[in-house]
Amino acid sequence: MKAVLSKEVGGPETLVLEEVASPEFGKDQVLVRVKACGVNFPDSLMIKDMYQFKPPRPFSPGGEVAGLVESVGEGVTHVKPGDRVLASIGNGGMAELAVAAAHSVMPIPDDMPFEEAAAFMMTYGTSYYALKDRADPKKGEKLLVLGAAGGVGIAAVELGKAMGLEVIAACSSQEKVDFCLSKGADKGLVYARELDKDGMKAFSGDIKEISGGGVDIIYDGVGGNYAEPSLRAMNWEGRFLVIGFPAGIPKIPLNLTLLKSCDIRGVFWGAAVARDPKAHAQNVKELFELYTAGKIRPHISNTYPLEKSADAIRELTERRAQGKVVVVMD
């Protein structure tokens, strides 16, 4: 089979396409013939050895896939060969065949395209867990989404609206803001691509102005110098959700949490799934109900063939994507 491999530490330019042996699988595992693979920020970190998990090389990036069940191992009863499924696998998705733990494999609706299925679970799973389980949202509260045009960001916009929140989308360009508004955001805010001290102060003022005084929930998928000014625009007893750090890991003055009696809450969706699979299964059920009702739908920014996987990761790291980037096999 063909697979894109990381054989040395580095950026997308270090990836190579090679013919390799089909992966072995066993008890409680499923072999999936991959039709589409979602691209996520952890893929770019993993190939640089900058992610929490460092798989042994050579490995294929790609943590979420959709395709057809090729074969099942002993003990697998909920899917069978030929079934249309999605799976969260950590890595190994940018290949024609991938092995998934049985508990991570889920049947998808017959009318759900593979590209959308591959762009579904990590973004909506992360954002639903963040907003539903970590943010304690109350209808009518104000939600600020940083990096709102990205994969998890636009999922947070859609889910925030579905939960009855007032959604403010913050992005690095007016084009991205307009995209978020088309996806249901109530208001939009453009921030500078680089923020110095004056810029941070101005950004905090902009958030307060557009929100009418402050926000109740901050969904921070950006980090860097955008975190502190956002927190300064937090309402009393607000909740700041830590999602990711493409702009760098911020240093937050903790006196701000005291002054606002607010919380900073980490969001580690992958670990939450492993710790409480029943809660995850319920969340997935609810997400598919929202999809079927037309309240959420993955937006595919671009698709790339397998041999162009490096370009797919590069589009994401250069913050050009609106929604999700997907690698397709056919």
- What CATH number does the domain containing 251 carry? 3.40.50.720
Note whether 304 and 200 are same-domain residues.
no
pLDDT tens column, 87-132: 999 999 999 999 999 989 999 989 899 999 999 999 999 999 999 9
The reported pLDDT for the residue numbered 41 is 87
Tell me the pairing of strands 142-146 and 215-220.
Answer: parallel
Note whether 256 and 213 are same-domain residues.
yes
The reported pLDDT for the residue numbered 268 is 95
Note whether 109 and 132 are same-domain residues.
no
Whole-Å CA distances, 221 to 117, 201, 224, 249, 289? 22, 20, 10, 11, 25
Mean pLDDT, rounded, of the chain = 95
Q: In 3D, which of 105, 101, 164 has the Cα closest to residue 131?
A: 164
> Is residue 230 over pLDDT 90?
yes
The reported pLDDT for the residue numbered 236 is 98
Tell me the pairing of strands 187-190 and 263-266.
Answer: unpaired
Note whether 230 and 105 are same-domain residues.
no
Residue 184: pLDDT band with limits 50, 70, 90: very high
Determine, yes or no, domain membership for 308: yes
What SS3 class is residue 47? coil
The reported pLDDT for the residue numbered 316 is 87
The reported pLDDT for the residue numbered 330 is 79
Please state the rounded mean pLDDT for residues 242-251.
93
Range of the domain at 81: 2-120+298-328
Note whether 131 and 197 are same-domain residues.
yes
Sort 146 into a burial class: Cβ within 10 Å, 0-12 / 13-18 / 19+. Answer: buried
pLDDT tens column, 51-83: 888 999 999 999 999 999 999 999 999 999 999
Domains: count for the chain: 2
Please state the rounded mean pLDDT for residues 30-40.
97
Q: By percentage, how much of the chain surpasses pLDDT 90? A: 89
Give the amino acid at 122.
Answer: M
pLDDT tens column, 299-322: 998 999 999 999 999 998 887 888
pLDDT tens column, 258-297: 999 999 999 999 899 889 989 998 999 999 999 999 999 9
Note whether 135 and 228 are same-domain residues.
yes
